[in-house]
Amino acid sequence: MKLKQRVVLLAILLVIFIFTKVFLIDNLDTSAANREDQRAFHRMMTGLRVELLPKLDHTLQSPWEIAAQWVVPREVYPEETPELGAVLHAMATKKVIKADVGYKGTQLKALLILEGGQKVVFKPKRYSRDFVVEGEPYAGYDRHNAEVAAFHLDRILGFRRAPLVVGRYINLRTEIKPVATEQLLSTFLTVGNNTCFYGKCYYCRETEPACADGDMMEGAITLWLPDVWPLQKHRHPWGRTYREGKLARWEYDESYCDAVKKTSPYDSGPRLLDIIDTAVFDYLIGNADRHHYESFQDDEGASMLILLDNAKSFGNPSLDERSILAPLYQCCIIRVSTWNRLNYLKNGVLKSALKSAMAHDPISPVLSDPHLDSVDQRLLNVLVTIKQCTDQFGVDTVLVEDRMPLSHL
């Protein structure tokens, strides 16, 4: 064989060797990542049911100190939380030592201080479980039970970006009024035999109070994030205009995602993929009202998108508002880990997992069966949407490997 032919042959063999090595390494990495995703899923399913128990035998720390130490830039609570039941129990039972009107917003809430100095937000019950909110997908009052369900869905999806939430019954006469500020107390009234309040907010009206059953009010308690993690508010790039006849750009420009990708913080880092994860999350719960979102301050785009204020969810089980998925079907990218988790949850697993996760909540049953069924159906719609993206652009383009270390800052 001539020298020139040998050189060509060696070059071809070298190229084949390099491509084979790269292919094998990539597949090994992908396979290892998929195996870790599967192990993480099984760990989540094993620890799904959380009993609300008061004991913290292995530590001298308070439940509030434990929960505060959980928070890092990329998660609100860790994957393994043996103390979660004790923290939720404290949220559901600790004495209220102060009650005030809620922080700024459009919906009724109260800001409570629990024994030990922990701030929490209380959202009262406005609807029965089987009530269907008609109209626009963002219509109606906040649903307190939606906050509880959304927290547990966040656990199931493995995002761990939602603050802790638990249901609670509170006696307005004996637990709230004696410790209420004058500003909150001035909004209390009696309707029939029921104690009611209407609070202070953009849409709060004396003619539309939230009323207890007698003095006992059902609601949801959301744990306030530690003050050492101040929040920064951002306008959601796929937010709605909330004006009849006026569309946001994303509603008519199918290339809108290309423009988003050129602006900070979506041009680099994890934020755009967080937006996609959040779109999936919001679609599953039927939340079309995420016009803004929060991250931690001074994060340069590296903080997680925190899943706050999920109460405009689970309003109408028959309404699947596909526009919530616009970030997904316009950008056509999603994390591999999210894709894997969604596939593990199909065939009825999601409904069963969500029902099991909420079984020990004090206000259980948290959701009606039609809402649980709707979550399963919406999951299938999400998977179909991702399949349409992979058919059009290819798996390697759509499924993005992005596993950021949780303590990277």
Q: Which segments of 47-159 does DSSP mark as H helices, in order?
A: 63-70, 84-93, 144-157
225 assigned ligand-binding residue: yes
Residue among 100, 154, 282, 289 flagged as catalytic: 289
- Side chain identity at residue 357, one-letter code: A
142 assigned ligand-binding residue: yes
Orientation of helix 271-285 relative to helix 369-393, angle to 10°: 140
Catalytic (active site) residue 373:
no
88 assigned ligand-binding residue: no
29 assigned ligand-binding residue: no
69 assigned ligand-binding residue: no
110 vs 99: CA distance, rounded Å: 7
309 assigned ligand-binding residue: yes
Which residues partner with 294 through β-bridges? 233, 306
123 assigned ligand-binding residue: yes
HSE (CB half, 13 Å, CA atoms) of 139? 11
376 assigned ligand-binding residue: no
154 assigned ligand-binding residue: no
Classify strands 334-335 and 399-400 as parallel, antiparallel or unpaired: parallel
Contacts of 346 (CB under 8 A, 6+ apart): 379, 380, 383
219 vs 100: CA distance, rounded Å: 16
The secondary structure of the chain in percent helix, strand, coil, rounded to multiples of 5, reads: 40, 15, 45
- The sign of the CA dihedral 313, 314, 318, 320 is positive
E strand intervals along 292-338: 292-296, 334-335
Please report, in range form, the residues annotated as the binding site for ATP.
Answer: 107, 123, 222-225, 294, 309
- Please list the active-site residues: 289
Please report, in range form, the residues annotated as the binding site for Mn(2+).
Answer: 142, 309
Please report, in range form, the residues annotated as the binding site.
Answer: 107, 123, 142, 222-225, 294, 309
